[in-house]
Amino acid sequence: MTSNSVSHARRALIGAGAIATVSPLRLARAAETPLSFQLSWIKSIQYGGYFAGIETGAFTRNKLAMTFNSGGPNVDPVANVASGQSQLGDRPIGPLIIAREKGIPIKVIATVFQRSPFSIISLDSKPIRSVRELEGKTVAVATSNRPLMQNLIRDAGLDPARVNMVPSSPDPSALVSGQIDAYSGYSTNQGVMLETRGVKIFSLNAHDLGMPETAGTIYGREDFLAANRDTVVRFLKGAVAGWQWALSNKDQTAKLMVDKYGAPGLDLRAQTAEIYASEPFIKAGPASTKGLLALDTALFDTIIGLYRKVGLVKTNMSAASLCDASFIDAALKS
């Protein structure tokens, strides 16, 4: 045998040995599809189901290597998905309707919160029990929600000019200091924040008042969804399993977010209270009959109609053009 032949034989043996020693874990990971998801806000219990999916292997079983990118005040989540930085994301339905109205080619495919916890929050010692009681009061409202709030006030038979609307911030402490009389925000977030500080509150849920919304609504760019149907369905299967586990193990999920997956500084008591408060909103509507994350297209038509009424939608948008329920339907059936 020539020296070249010996060399080739040695390389072949080394190569064969290298293949033989590749661990099953490495081979499994190599088979996973990488997928990036843009969160609407910082990593906290409102996304507990996704991180429960990582912790319990729900995404790995569906052959996915998930990355969940944190949102926050300086992040434009829809722009990140539209530009392809992340393939999927979540937002309250309002910004997604506005994005679609502007021509951004996104589709809604599922939703975590079937009913939004968005509420008019006041102090229990000075409760605002109806929209009409906002007359002469100061209420903090996000700029993007001002047209909807004005419409809600008009529908209650009150002139919006008789309500002092000021910009809101993520922290509702101005309610405690008496700078405002009411705060429009999420009862499961800002409401829980106040309650865990010992502040008793009174909440008027906007959905019940005629201002419906979904939150944690999952969307993707149309071309990605069309080209990666199997991947998206596998993601939704993993997400459903993760959320099922999280809601069945609420205390453990809150601890996971505080100790392992969440942003620094999360308070365990608040995180635990939030997931308990969130459960009824997540399990509402079609989630109670079809399964978690299901879509109620009739509700989306109602929401689009409301946005058209206040002038935020001027096209012929409908739930059929905004949503594609076939992804979550396939995930829930398989």
Give the pLDDT score at 176: 96
What are the residue ranges of helices labelled H in 83-145? 93-101
Q: Is the pLDDT of residue 15 over 80?
A: no
Residues 6+ away with beta carbon under 8 Å from 130: 156, 204
Q: What is the pLDDT of residues 175-192, one digit of tens each?
A: 999 999 999 999 999 999
Average pLDDT over residues 157-182: 95
Average pLDDT over residues 222-236: 98
Give the pLDDT score at 1: 46
Average pLDDT over residues 277-297: 97
Closest CA to 121 of 136, 137, 110: 137
Q: Is the pLDDT of residue 163 over 80?
A: yes
Give the pLDDT score at 334: 80
Average pLDDT over residues 197-224: 96
Segments of the chain assigned to CATH 3.40.190.10: 32-116+213-333, 118-209
Please answer whether residues 297 and 320 qualify as being in contact, where contact means their C-beta atoms are separated by less than 8 angstroms.
Answer: yes
Please answer whether residues 83 and 168 qualify as being in contact, where contact means their C-beta atoms are separated by less than 8 angstroms.
Answer: no
* Beta strand pairing call for 33-38 and 88-91: parallel
Q: Is 265 helix (H, G, I), strand (E, B) or coil?
A: coil
Give the pLDDT score at 73: 87
Confidence band, pLDDT 50/70/90 cuts, at residue 31: confident
Distance CA 305, CA 316 (A): 10
Average pLDDT over residues 5-32: 49
Neighbours of 86 (CB within 10 A): 21
Give the pLDDT score at 18: 41
Give the pLDDT score at 114: 97
Average pLDDT over residues 291-307: 97
Give the pLDDT score at 313: 97
Length of the chain, in residues: 334
Q: Is the pLDDT of residue 2 over 60?
A: no
Output the six-digit token pair for 113: 């919160």
Q: Is the pLDDT of residue 201 over 80?
A: yes
The pTM score is 0.89
Which of the listed CATH numbers 3.30.420.40, 3.20.190.10, 3.40.190.10, 3.40.50.300 matches domain 118-209?
Answer: 3.40.190.10
Q: What is the DSSP letter of 131?
A: G
Question: Average pLDDT, whole number, for the chain?
Answer: 92
Confidence band, pLDDT 50/70/90 cuts, at residue 26: low
Average pLDDT over residues 140-158: 94
Longest pairwise C-alpha distance within the chain = 99
Superfamily of domain 32-116+213-333: Periplasmic binding protein-like II (3.40.190.10)
Q: Is the pLDDT of residue 270 over 90?
A: yes
